[in-house]
């Protein structure tokens, strides 16, 4: 295998479709890379689960992705990153890229000095979130907003509907009325709700982490000479732990082409 020419796939996982918001950006930036995406729908959602259970799932999935030949693994889930990414890096030899809410750029960009962070209980309760807020969020008033049932809507592909608009309105009306001018999406599922949030609150900026995380993965591949060969053709392989057909039926609703939805493993 020549330097800078590694045909092995990139691994990526989440409890469901949410991490595909990261894959979408990664595919745009690295179209030659093959991705093996593990959707742990049998344990969806991770957000309200005990951190120990999430950590156990993260280790099991990482083993599966390493067995599939993954040269780098993206933990495309804020809850799993909070619960497990530090330990994953210690146990496995492959590099890991994790998620953290975009507190730093939000605090810098806010005109009002008030930021709403929309995330799951598992993300808010983790040390990773606390450390980021302590380091980068001191100059902003932060409203923590738990996104009740939002991930469930996205998992069904219900992202551009009256129900989705009503749900984001109920979650964010209070913080926006209190002056929050930036909403940070602290769950990869929520990135698919960005259009609904923009429609409901047109004066509010929405910050996700899909693109920054994808850029970090690309930079790490280049840095470690792990990029795919120039003539490689990117592909998406899916592993679904729960109902595979239900998962595949959701993908077109989120903007993924049928040919992508067809490429799946059990």
Average pLDDT of the segment spanning 210-238: 95
Q: Are residues 51 and 108 in the same domain?
A: no
Choice between 265 and 252, residue whose per-residue pLDDT is larger: 252
Task: State the CATH number of the domain containing residue 126.
Answer: 3.40.50.1860
Whether 3 is covered by a domain: the verdict is: no
Mean pLDDT of 228-254: 94
Mean pLDDT of the 163-168 span: 94
Confidence grade of residue 1 (pLDDT, cut at 50, 70, 90):
very low
Tokens of 120: 């799951």
Q: One of 10, 77, 80, 167 is an active-site residue; which one?
A: 77
Across 239-246, average pLDDT: 95
Q: 185, 208, 231 — which closes off a domain?
A: 208
218 is catalytic: no
187 catalytic residue (yes or no): yes
Q: Which positions ≥6 away from 236 have C-beta within 8 Å?
A: 23, 27, 34, 35, 37, 260, 263
Q: Do 93 and 109 belong together in one domain?
A: no
Query: Mean pLDDT score of the chain, rounded to an integer?
Result: 91
- Residue 66 inside a domain? The answer is yes
Judgement on whether residues 238 and 194 belong to the same structural domain of the protein: no
Side-chain half-sphere exposure of 129, counting CA atoms within 13 A: 24
Rounded to whole angstroms, the Cα distance separating 261 from 255 reads 10
Q: pLDDT, tens digit, for every residue of 48-67?
A: 999 999 999 999 999 999 99
Lowest mean pLDDT among 70-74, 107-111, 194-198: 107-111
Spot the catalytic one: 187, 213, 214, 264.
Answer: 187
List the domain range (segments joined by +) for residue 134: 103-208
Total number of domains in the chain: 2
What's the predicted TM-score (pTM) here?
Answer: 0.92
Last residue of a domain, one of 166, 191, 208: 208
With 0-12 / 13-18 / 19 or more C-beta atoms within 10 angstroms meaning exposed / middle / buried, residue 232 is middle
Based on the domain organization, do 123 and 84 belong to the same domain? no
- Residues 94-149 have pLDDT tens digits of 999 999 888 888 888 999 999 999 998 878 877 777 777 777 667 788 899 999 89
- pLDDT higher for 102 or 155? 155
Query: Pairing between strand 182-185 and 141-146?
Result: unpaired
């Amino acid at each position: 295998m020549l330097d800078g020419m590694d045909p092995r796939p990139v691994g990526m996982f989440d409890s469901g479709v949410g991490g595909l918001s990261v894959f979408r950006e990664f595919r745009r930036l690295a179209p030659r890379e093959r991705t093996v995406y593990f959707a742990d729908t049998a344990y969806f959602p991770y957000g309200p689960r005990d951190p120990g259970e999430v950590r156990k799932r993260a280790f099991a999935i990482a083993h599966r992705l390493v067995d599939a030949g993954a040269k780098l693994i993206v933990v495309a889930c804020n809850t799993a990153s909070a619960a497990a990414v530090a330990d994953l890096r210690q146990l496995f030899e492959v590099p890991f890229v994790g998620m953290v809410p975009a507190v730093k750029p939000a605090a810098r960009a806010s005109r009002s000095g008030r930021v709403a962070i929309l995330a799951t209980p598992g993300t808010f309760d983790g040390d990773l979130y606390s450390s980021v807020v302590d380091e980068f969020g001191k100059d902003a008033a932060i409203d923590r907003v738990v996104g009740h049932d939002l991930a469930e809507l996205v998992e069904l592909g219900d992202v551009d509907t009256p129900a989705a608009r009503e749900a984001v309105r109920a979650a964010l009306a209070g913080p926006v009325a209190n002056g929050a001018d930036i909403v940070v999406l602290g769950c990869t599922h929520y990135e698919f709700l960005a259009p609904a949030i923009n429609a409901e609150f047109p004066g509010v900026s929405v910050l996700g982490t899909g693109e920054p995380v994808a850029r970090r993965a690309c930079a790490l591949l280049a840095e470690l000479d792990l990029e795919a060969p120039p003539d490689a053709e990117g592909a998406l392989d899916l592993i679904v732990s729960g109902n595979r057909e239900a998962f595949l039926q959701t993908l077109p609703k989120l903007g993924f082409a049928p040919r992508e939805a067809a490429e799946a493993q059990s």
